[in-house]
Amino acid sequence: MARIAIGGFQHETNTFAPQKASWDDFARADAWPPFLRGEEMFDAVAGFNIPVAGAIMTLRARGHELVPLCWCSAPPSSYVEQDAYEKVAGWMIEDLAAKGPFDAVYLDLHGAMVAEHLEDGEGELMRRVRAVVGDAIPLVASLDYHTNMTPAMVRHATAMVGYRTYPHIDMADTGSKAAELLDRLLTDRRVLHKAFRQIDFLIPLVWQCTLLDPAKGIFDLLGEIERGTDKKGAPSGAHNQGIVSLTHTPGFPPADIKECGPALVVYGYDKAATEAAADRLAAAVKAREKDFAGRLWEADEAVVEAMRLAKNATRPVILADVQDNPGAGGSSDTVGLLRALIAHEVRGAVIGMIVDPPSAAAAAAAGEGAILQRGIGAGVGFAGEKPVEAAWRVVKVGTGIFTGTGPFYNGAKFQIGPMALLIDEASGVSAVLACKRVQAADQEMFRHVGVEPSKVPILALKSTVHFRADFQPIAEIILPVRSPGAHITDPAELPYKNLRKGIRLSPEGPVYL
Ligand SMILES: [Zn+2]
């Protein structure tokens, strides 16, 4: 039995987004738990599809003594404010020093945190952890798929284990895998060799989805190398010798930092085999460079095409508002797609979620059946947009308190209200309003205000990829739409200043100089 410290500090930073992450954003609950410190962590994270929950379950099952530090997350946004970073990191390090000694440390990290005063939030956090616990004990971290993996992270962590799915349906499982690896390191007590590679082109999020190639095939290859067999179970070459773990993180492009971009790390006991596996995986990603691509529709043409397709469809045509994804720093209140739906009078269409606390509160106060003559959305004013004025009828209001049921948000205890379903009677278009920025990636968000998503002819979702986990099974077809939003899909459009020279801004795209 080992004594293991457990903590977590999650943020995905889009340095181009309009809103920063303050301490309050980490302190409060949204879809994930609020800031947790000490023993309260265990009960509060149980049942969530998040890494720390999986890690706790697995380490307990192996009989280890777990010592909770603190855990928190905030919705993706621009920089983490210095005050918030130092508060959380400060408490974590304080508890680590006070509650030790430890045999190992597990951290639940996103891996793309940029603070106002630090480019590499996780690398710095792990450096501070090492300064307390020393270099001798295992420090294992789980990572998001959208990690911008840095040399400092690779140096300070004994090992890191990343998600292999996007939509992320393996978050708790990845925590379990990291815990299994930690347990193995405590038993084996051998030096792990690390092979780190950075890929020299950025990949837009919308083309990183593992339900589609090329990402699907690349992640199949990770499994093959790890198992040492191909899909049919036959041995697949010598590269599996002593390989312990592989992680590939396709990166989070809208982060203006030197280490932005896809990367991979392979851990193994045999140096040559570990390096060879890293080379093989890097070559596989590079070989598919041109395939990370697809069509994005302008809002207007997407709506016209959706109306054409919906005529003969038995299931919803889904329009993915991929740039206003709050899960990537979007404000979730832009109105380009809403305006297009209204302009074409798409009766029965529903868009969600528009994050507009004043309008949601006004709807809740006015009550069901009331008419609200007001503008909705565009509260942040991204891209100079203005709220959409109409005589909105309040169809249904909700508390915003409900539990996620889809594969991504399964078990998440939402606290995002008040919520409301409003309809513009003139055009027949409805909008779901909420008060916190949470990605439209679970059907319960719509059912909560009386909408059965599978019955909606044209459904517009503020999400890039995560919605696919719960909505692709009910969709006739999905059209990714380019409408205003702070998660700019084509990195070539972003005004970077700090990338490393020579990286291509998109697959086969322009070189950053
Ligand atoms: Zn992610």
Span 158-196, pLDDT tens digits: 999 999 999 999 999 999 999 999 999 999 989 999 999
For residue 166, report the distance from its CA to the centre of ligand 1, in Å. Answer: 7
User: Residue 250, preceding bond cis, omega within 30 degrees?
Assistant: no
For residue 298, report the distance from its CA to the centre of ligand 1, in Å. Answer: 25
Summarize the confidence of residues 57-80 as an average pLDDT. Answer: 97
| pLDDT at residue 246, rounded to an integer | 97
For residue 52, report the distance from its CA to the centre of ligand 1, in Å. Answer: 15
3-state helix, strand, coil in the chain (%, to 5): 35, 25, 40
For residue 146, report the distance from its CA to the centre of ligand 1, in Å. Answer: 5
Which tokens sit at 345?
Answer: 């009078």
> With bands split at pLDDT 50, 70 and 90, how would you rate the model's confidence at 239?
very low
> With bands split at pLDDT 50, 70 and 90, how would you rate the model's confidence at 235?
low
Determine contact, residues 403/49, Cβ cutoff 8 Å: no
For residue 466, report the distance from its CA to the centre of ligand 1, in Å. Answer: 9
| pLDDT at residue 139, rounded to an integer | 98
For residue 328, report the distance from its CA to the centre of ligand 1, in Å. Answer: 8
| pLDDT at residue 3, rounded to an integer | 98
For residue 145, report the distance from its CA to the centre of ligand 1, in Å. Answer: 5
| pLDDT above 90: residue 133 | yes
Which tokens sit at 74?
Answer: 């905030």
For residue 235, report the distance from its CA to the centre of ligand 1, in Å. Answer: 32
pLDDT in tens, 102-123: 999 999 999 999 999 999 999 9
For residue 3, report the distance from its CA to the centre of ligand 1, in Å. Answer: 30
Tell me the pairing of strands 429-434 and 419-424.
Answer: antiparallel
For residue 428, report the distance from its CA to the centre of ligand 1, in Å. Answer: 34
Instruction: Give the E-state strand segments of 226-369 in sequence order.
Output: 243-249, 263-268, 297-298, 317-321, 350-355
pLDDT in tens, 358-390: 999 999 999 999 999 999 999 999 999 999 999
For residue 116, report the distance from its CA to the centre of ligand 1, in Å. Answer: 21
Determine contact, residues 260/148, Cβ cutoff 8 Å: yes
Q: Which residue has the tokens 């005004």?
A: 495
A 10 A CB-CB count for 290 gives: 9
For residue 252, report the distance from its CA to the centre of ligand 1, in Å. Answer: 8
Instruction: Choose among 138, 152, 31, 41: nearest CA to 91.
Output: 41
Q: Note the residue count of the chain.
A: 513
The whole-model pTM stands at 0.93
For residue 53, report the distance from its CA to the centre of ligand 1, in Å. Answer: 17
Distance CA 385, CA 389 (A): 12
Which tokens sit at 487?
Answer: 């998660």
| pLDDT above 70: residue 252 | yes
For residue 472, report the distance from its CA to the centre of ligand 1, in Å. Answer: 18
For residue 168, report the distance from its CA to the centre of ligand 1, in Å. Answer: 7
Which tokens sit at 389?
Answer: 């004025």
Which residues, including other chains, have CB under 8 Å from residue 143's CB and lie 6 or more apart?
109, 110, 111, 149, 160, 161, 162, 163, 174, 247, 249
* Dihedral sign (CA 141, 145, 146, 147): positive
- Three-state SS at 245: strand
Which tokens sit at 130?
Answer: 């090492």
Distance CA 348, CA 274 (A): 55
| pLDDT at residue 10, rounded to an integer | 98
Average pLDDT, the chain: 96
Distance CA 248, CA 182 (A): 19
* Dihedral sign (CA 218, 75, 258, 125): negative
Compute the half-sphere exposure of residue 175: CA atoms within 13 Å on the CB side of its CA.
28
Determine contact, residues 354/434, Cβ cutoff 8 Å: yes
For residue 136, report the distance from its CA to the centre of ligand 1, in Å. Answer: 30
Following CA atoms 35, 39, 40, 41 in sequence, which dihedral angle do they give, to the nearest 10 degrees? 50
| pLDDT at residue 490, rounded to an integer | 87
> With bands split at pLDDT 50, 70 and 90, how would you rate the model's confidence at 231?
low
For residue 140, report the distance from its CA to the centre of ligand 1, in Å. Answer: 19
| pLDDT above 60: residue 420 | yes
Strand partners, 196: 265
Distance CA 195, CA 381 (A): 44
For residue 73, report the distance from its CA to the centre of ligand 1, in Å. Answer: 13
Distance CA 172, CA 13 (A): 21
For residue 365, report the distance from its CA to the centre of ligand 1, in Å. Answer: 36
| pLDDT above 90: residue 280 | yes
Which tokens sit at 466?
Answer: 């995560």
For residue 260, report the distance from its CA to the centre of ligand 1, in Å. Answer: 14
Residue type at position 80 = V
Strand partners, 355: 434
From first CA to last CA, the distance across the chain in angstroms is: 52
Which tokens sit at 490?
Answer: 């084509």
pLDDT in tens, 439-485: 999 999 999 999 999 999 999 999 999 999 999 999 999 999 999 99
The torsion region of residue 369 among left (phi > 0), alpha (psi -120 to 50) and beta comes to left
